[in-house]
Structure 1
Amino acid sequence: MKEDFLHYVWQHQYFDKTQLVTEDGQSLTIMRPGFRHTDAGPDFPNARLQLGEVEWNGAVEIHLKASDWYRHQHQQDPKYDQVILHVVHTADQPVYRTDGSLVPVLELTSRLPAGLLLAYKRLLEQQNEPALPCGALLGQVSELTRTLMLDRVLLERVEQKADLITALYETLGQDWEATTWHALAAAFGFQKNSEPLSRLAKALPLSILRRHRHDVRQLAALVFGQAGFLVEQENTSHDLYIRDLQQEFAFLRHKYNLAGTGLALHDWNFLRLRPANFPTVRLAQLVGLLHARPTLFDALFTAVDVPALEQFFTTPVPEYWLNHYRPGKPGKVPALGRSSVHLLITNVVVPLRVAYARHIGSADLVEASVALLEQLPAEHNHITDLYDALGFRHRTAADSQALLALHRGYCTPRRCLHCSIGSRLVQPKLVTR
């Protein structure tokens, strides 16, 4: 048994509550069980109980064994002095607060419904399933329950991404334009090069780029120079374009005191990437975007739907990079693909809009931003394939994002009792059918 199970039991009050008595002999009436708390401190603050003749307001702490109170060092933590009831599966010893006062203990061992325990054990037996631990039991859960859970985790995923945007906004001095630049730069790394591109955005402030947005040559010199691709190399010694960028970057580096602030060639990942995904190709696409869209943030909000956003990302790159994958190495380069644009909308545009909508207090803009995911085709990868095989809906990017959130936030860490699907499988009403 896991502690999460007792959290679930207490939260939903799925135990026999007739003639409740604590281990020290006090009668117990539960007037309010409290609210589940996941940060540091007691598990269920804001509980209201009657112990004997006295009514108490405080917190409830949950453990498998009463002795876990000492194993977790709660007897030394003043935060736990507010605990008015210790709920355990096994009351193996009395526990005390920092001032030495006894904490009332309620043991649940004999009060758990047999059907609830059976359903919980059956769920645990499915823990080796590759996707959903409860995959073999899904037939017992309605389509409505699945749909509601996917709706919930989709919003959780978008909110988490929006939180990162908000944190970035605060770090950058509450500048939405700079926030957009940093978020887009990192996203153009498409996982393999997200980290170095994020560092490049820090090494190349938007305040500098703004001054040169109308000169694509200077933009390219700044971006490729700070990225470390304009160093002397054997295959570029006779490349006139690269030589020109080197000279321009030498001037701009001195002008803006950029020496020692950029990246090096070894910071970038080329291994196991198709040439169209090389970081040099992505940098060229960023140069084209910066040149064609003088105001990134405003332009993204002017685009009201997916076709308009696709147009936003459809910008010409410097001519040299139409025919070169790397400096001095020719080859025909395709434009930024539609699937890549859709990933940028999913991972940058939607969270950025949600973060801004929360900032200005616009619930309508939040809803409209999340709805963009319904206009995008579904993503397909090894994770979504697992859920496809289990019969989950998968038609749009909203579905894909929800499945990824379900997998990473609930199924992989086996947080089954925090999930509506797993919770439904162990509900007493379902068990007794």
Structure 2
Amino acid sequence: MREDFYHYVWQHQYFDKADLRTAAGEEIQVLKPGHRNADAGPDFLNARLRVGDVEWNGAVEIHLRASDWTRHQHQTDPKYDQVILHVVGQHDADVARTNGSLIPTLALQTRIAPELLARYQTLVEAPAAAPLPCAPLLHLVPEITRTMMVERALLERVERKADDVLALHQRLGQDWEATAYHALMTAFGFQKNSEPLARLAKALPLSVLRRHRHDQRQLEALLFGQAGFLVESDETAADDYIRDLRQEHEFLRHKYQLQDAALAVHEWNYLRLRPANFPPVRLGQLAGLLHARPALFDALLTAQSVAALTEFFQAPAPEYWRTHFRPGRTGKVPGLGKGSIDLLITNVVVPLRVAYARHVGQPEVVESSVALLSELPAEHNRYTDVYEALGFAHHTAADSQGLLALHKSYCAPRRCLHCAIGNRLVQQPRPAR
């Protein structure tokens, strides 16, 4: 049994209300259960109850056992002084506010229909190896419910990413151009090298890079030098181009006092990467993009279609990095692929645009930004494949992102009661067979 089950039961009032009384024997009438509190403090706010002859307005706190109140130290926290009812599974202790006044307790364990509890347990106690606890029961859920839940999960995922962008925007002094730069740098790592590229963005501030964006040689020197790729080695000993960049970086590094910020070669990841995904290749693509597209944020914000964004990201890398997988090592290097561009639109452009729209109060931009995902092809991985096999629609990146969000936020942590699909299965009895 988990506490969220009692949250669910209280929120929807799925319990026997006949002769409803507190543990002390006072009659209770629930006039308004309150609304869920997403922040710190009691679980439900603005509840309205009649206890005995007195009507109360305040909060409701929910626990598996009444003694959890003390275990969680609520008796010393003034935020819980507003609690007017303690709803529990089992009443094993009386509880009090910080001033010592007792709080009425309602025990629900014997008031919940056994079949409701059984339906809940079927879902949350499914084997850990089961990717979807509701898989055997999905045929009982209308397709419209599944579709709406995936759409809801998608919007929640986009909003969370937008929250991250807004937090980054705040840290960078509310500079949208710098925000776009940092977000793009991080995303160009494509997971394996996202963390070192995020640190490279800090090691090479946009304020410095802006001064040299129109000089491709200096821009390369700054990027590759701060990334640690211009150190002398056996492979680069006879490479005049790398030697020239190294000398330029030394000058610029001292000029802007960047000495202590550079990364080291060993901080980059190559394991299980194809040469086309090597960090120097990605940096070369970034160098071409930053040189050809000096106004990142404005371009990403105003592009009207996936086609326009694809063209934006197809800026050619500098000539050297089209023929070298890493400094001093030659080979034919492909340009930024369509799949990679689609991921950048999904993970950078859409969250960036949604964050900006929320910041300036333009809800129509949120809608048009999310709609871009419907123009992109679906992603396929071990998570989305499971849902597709179970009959979930999976045609576009909007579907993929929704399914990934459904897995991460609901199915994997067994938050079935928060999911429209699980909620429907718990509420409705199974048809007779």
Correspondence 1:43 to 2:17: no
For residues 395 and 138 of structure 1, the distance between their equivalents in structure 2, rounded to whole angstroms, comes to 20
Rounded Cα–Cα distance in structure 1 between residues aligned with 2:211 and 2:80: 56
- Cα shift at 1:19: 2.3
Q: CA deviation at 1:27?
A: 1.1
The DSSP-based 3-state class of the residue aligned with 2:304 is coil
Residue 59 of structure 1 aligns to a residue in which SS? Answer: strand
Alignment check: 8 A CA contact 1:116 1:431 kept = no
Task: Tell me the SS of whatever aligns to 1:115.
Answer: helix
Query: Unpaired segments of 5 or more residues in structure 2?
Result: none
Residue 346 of structure 2 corresponds to which residue in structure 1? 346
CA contact (8 A) 1:127 1:414 kept: no
Q: Which residue of 1 is the match for residue 52 of structure 2? A: 52
Query: Which position in structure 2 is the counterpart of 1:416?
Result: 416
2:407 alignment partner in structure 1: 407
Deviation of residue 351 (structure 1)? 0.2
Partner AA of 2:148 in structure 1: L
Q: Which residue of 2 aligns with 1:151?
A: 151
Tell me the equivalent position of 2:240. Answer: 240
- Any conservation in 2 of the 1:57–1:84 contact (CA below 8 Å)? yes
Distance apart, 1:125 and its partner CA: 4.0
Q: How many residues align?
A: 432
Aligned-pair CA distance for 1:127: 3.9
Deviations along 1:265-320, whole A, 9 cap, x unmatched?
01111111100100100000000000100100111123110000000000111101
Alignment of 1:383-394 (within 5 A): 383-394=383-394
Match of 1:284 in 2: 284
Instruction: Supply the AA of the counterpart residue of 1:10.
Output: W
The alignment partner of 1:217 has SS state of helix
Q: 1:123 corresponds to which residue?
A: 123
For 1:431 and 1:45, locate their aligned partners in 2 and report how far apart those are by CA, in whole Å: 33
Aligned positions of 1:223-262 closer than 5 A: 223-262=223-262
Cα RMSD between the aligned structures?
1.2
Distance 2:250 2:141 in 1: 65
Change (3 A) 1:155 1:416: same
- SS in structure 2 of the partner of residue 208 of structure 1: helix
Task: Identify the residue that residue 310 of structure 1 maps to in structure 2.
Answer: 310
Pairwise CA distance, 1:99:
1.5
Find the residue that maps to 2:229 and give its secondary structure.
Answer: coil
Go from structure 1 to structure 2 and tell me whether the alpha carbon gap of 1:431 and 1:19 turns closer, same or farther (over 3 Å shift).
Answer: farther
Deviation at 1:432, TM superposition (A): 7.5
- For 1:71, the aligned partner's letter is R
- The 1:297/1:21 distance shift into structure 2, 3 A limit, reads same
The AA in structure 2 aligned to 1:157 is R
Identity within the alignment, %? 67
Q: Establish whether residue 321 from structure 1 lines up as the match of residue 321 from structure 2.
A: yes
CA contact (8 A) 1:149 1:420 kept: yes
How many Å apart are 1:109 and its aligned residue? 2.1
Query: TM-score scaled to structure 1, two decimals?
Result: 0.98
The worse-fitting range, judged by mean Cα deviation, of 363-372 and 33-42 is 33-42
Where does 1:137-176 land on structure 2 (aligned, <5 Å)? 137-176=137-176
Aligned to 1:235, the other structure's residue is in SS state coil
| Cα distance in 2 between the residues matched to 1:155 and 1:161 | 10
**Residue aligning to 1:114:** 114
Aligned to 2:362: 362
Give the secondary-structure state (helix, strand or coil) at the position aligned to 2:243: helix
Q: What is aligned with 2:398?
A: 398
**What residue number does 1:66 align with?**
66
Aligned residue identity for 2:323: N
Q: Deviations over 1:158-211 (max 9, x none)?
A: 000000100111111111001000000000000010011001001111111111
* CA distance, structure 1, for counterparts of residue 364 and residue 429 of structure 2: 37
Instruction: String of CA shifts for 1:195-228, please: whole Å, max 9, x gaps.
Output: 1100100111111111111111111000000000
**Aligned partner letter, 1:425:** L
Structure 1: gaps of 5 or more residues = none
Task: Give the secondary-structure state (helix, strand or coil) at the position aligned to 1:211.
Answer: helix
Say whether the 8 Å CA contact 2:169–2:179 is kept in structure 1: yes
2:135 aligned with 1:135: yes
SS at match of 1:230: coil
SS in structure 2 at match of 1:294: coil
Give the distance between the partners of 2:140 and 2:16, measured in 1 at CA: 25
Alignment-derived partner of residue 301 in structure 2: 301
In the other structure, the counterpart of 1:103 is 103
Equivalent residue letter for 2:72:
H
Tell me, yes or no, if the aligned pair for 1:22 and 1:28 is still in contact at 8 Å: yes
Deviations 1:93-117 (A, max 9, x none): 2222222111101111221123212
Deviations 1:103-139 (A, max 9, x none): 1011112211232122122223424353211111111
One-letter code aligned to 1:335: G
Contact kept in structure 2, 1:115 and 1:431, CA below 8 Å: no
Letter in 1 for 2:167: A
Q: What does residue range 27-38 of structure 1 map to in structure 2 within 5 Å?
A: 27-38=27-38
For residue 115 of structure 2, what is the amino acid of its counterpart? G
SS at match of 2:19: coil
> Which residue pairs with 2:92 in the alignment?
92
Q: State the shift of 1:349 in Å.
A: 0.1
Separation in 1, partners of 2:260, 2:125: 56
Secondary structure at the aligned position of 1:284 is classed as helix
SS at match of 2:35: coil
| TM-score normalized with structure 2 length | 0.98
Aligned to 2:16: 16
Following the alignment from structure 1 to structure 2, what is the Cα–Cα distance between the partners of residues 323 and 401? 35
